[in-house]
Amino acid sequence: MQRSSVTMKDLAAALGVSVMTVSRAFKADSSMNEATRKKVLQAARDLGYVFDSTAANLRTQSTNFVAVIIPSINNANFADTVGALSDRLAEAGMQVLLGNSGYNIADEEVLIEQLLRRKPDAIVVTGGRHSDYGRKLLAGAGIPVIETWDLPADPIQYVVGFSNAATMHALVDHFVAKGKTRIAFVGGDSNADTRGADRRKGFIAAMKQHGLDTARLINAGQAPLGMQAGARAMAELLETMPDTQAVIGVADPIAFGALSECQRRGLQVPRDISIAGFGAYEISAVSHPTLTTIDPQPRRIGRETAELILRLRSADADNAPEPKITQIDWSICAAQSS
């Protein structure tokens, strides 16, 4: 029950071949006698040999790891992105090394440092805002760096994302087209969730563009915001500005919390008040009534990121200009009658 001490050396000795032959047997693309390979693989199974990638990692200077930092694992949007990224990378034999920053730039910096020690072949971060030192670490890591879920003004290297602000323009336009003018936005503290902050900025800009009052901003607290926070925020909104006609939640859980609070108070949605969110969480389509939302295609972000990494990996060092920015399309999913 000791840590498996069977090495290639042991296999080689057992079979009377050199260690190199054993090594080759495990590399699918190396040319060798198929009969010998079979013998090696059989012996490996018999002796309970487990390939030791720590040794291979050191020698080959590549780990087949991709480091991924997300603000929270408990967020269906990020989980979708990581899932899609991970699935695609797994097909190429690569694995994801995940870190949660907890919506915190200082924690992200620590994570970046820790993850880089593991010598990943690429690093994927969420958003375009980082600590100065974090940014420096990323830029100097010597591996592909991909910022996602955002369109940073000053990208480090590669970007796979979209404009969070633009999505809010679309929602405001949607509500204005329906004749709503008193529209509120429920979001979190802006310094934590920068994508949320961008959405709030987009909301304000869109409202101004329509000549509408931008005073209906509710701060629901610190990210991560859940349904409960949405419900509380809605309660506050209904107390202070009961004539509000529409509410945009920074994400669907907040929007659903708001919806549930309306229901508890006997308000009819969308007759009395309209509600929209962000993220196309499953609940937006299942709740009764359904929620208007933005579908940012989280799985698409993950898959495109994976494809980019795989292309960069197979590219020669020099001929890898690539489009640096991959924009992901998003779409508005209107509730049946919001």
Partner DNA sequence: ACTCTAATTGTTATCGATAACATAGTGAGT
Partner DNA sequence: ACTCACTATGTTATCGATAACAATTAGAGT
User: Out of 9, 27, 38, 118, which residue is the one contacting a copy of itself (CB under 8 A)?
Assistant: 118
Piece of the chain touching a copy of itself by CB under 8 A; list 16-24, 80-88, 194-202, 272-280: 80-88
Instruction: Count interface residues toward DNA (CB under 7 A).
Output: 27
If one asks whether residue 19 binds DNA (CB under 7 A), the answer comes out as: yes
Q: Which does 106 bind (CB under 5 to 8 A by kind): a copy of itself, DNA, none?
A: none
Piece of the chain touching a copy of itself by CB under 8 A; list 9-17, 179-187, 236-244, 285-293: 285-293
If one asks whether residue 53 binds a copy of itself (CB under 8 A), the answer comes out as: yes
If one asks whether residue 61 binds a copy of itself (CB under 8 A), the answer comes out as: yes
What's the chain look like in SS3?
A: CCCCCCCHHHHHHHHCCCHHHHHHHHCCCCCCCHHHHHHHHHHHHHHCCCCCHHHHHHHHCCCCEEEEEECCCCCHHHHHHHHHHHHHHHHCCCEEEEEECCCCHHHHHHHHHHHHHCCCCEEEEECCCCCHHHHHHHHCCCCCEEEECCCCCCCCCEEEECCHHHHHHHHHHHHHHCCCCCEEEEECCCCCCHHHHHHHHHHHHHHHHCCCCCCCEEECCCCCCCHHHHHHHHHHHHHHCCCCCEEEECCHHHHHHHHHHHHHCCCCCCCCCEEECCCCCHHHHHCCCCCEEEECCHHHHHHHHHHHHHHHHHCCCCCCCCCCEEECCCEEECCCCC
User: Out of 14, 17, 310, 332, which residue is the one contacting DNA (CB under 7 A)?
Assistant: 17
Piece of the chain touching DNA by CB under 7 A; list 30-38, 64-72, 173-181, 209-217: 30-38
User: Which long-range CB contacts under 8 A does 51-60 form with residues at least 24 apart?
Assistant: 51/26, 52/7, 57/119
Piece of the chain touching a copy of itself by CB under 8 A; list 10-18, 75-83, 180-188, 237-245: 75-83
User: Out of 31, 54, 314, 319, which residue is the one contacting a copy of itself (CB under 8 A)?
Assistant: 54
Q: Nearest approach, Cβ of 306 to a copy of itself (angstroms)? A: 14
Piece of the chain touching DNA by CB under 7 A; list 10-18, 161-169, 222-230, 251-259: 10-18
If one asks whether residue 286 binds a copy of itself (CB under 8 A), the answer comes out as: yes
Quick one: 86 or 131, whose CB is closer to a copy of itself?
Answer: 86
- Residues of this chain, 51-80, that bind DNA according to CB under 7 A: 51-52, 54-56, 58-61
| The two structure tokens encoding residue 300 | 């698409």
If one asks whether residue 97 binds a copy of itself (CB under 8 A), the answer comes out as: yes
> How deeply is 240 buried, as exposed, middle or buried, from its count of CB atoms within 10 A (0-12, 13-18, 19+)?
exposed
Quick one: 64 or 245, whose CB is closer to DNA?
Answer: 64
| The two structure tokens encoding residue 229 | 């926070």
Q: Which residues bind a copy of itself (CB under 8 A)?
A: 1-4, 48, 50-55, 57-58, 61, 63, 72-74, 76, 79-80, 82-83, 86-87, 95-100, 113-119, 137, 140-143, 226-228, 230-231, 253, 256-257, 260, 263-264, 282-283, 285-288
Q: Which residues bind DNA (CB under 7 A)?
A: 5, 7-9, 16-21, 23-24, 26-27, 31-33, 36, 51-52, 54-56, 58-61
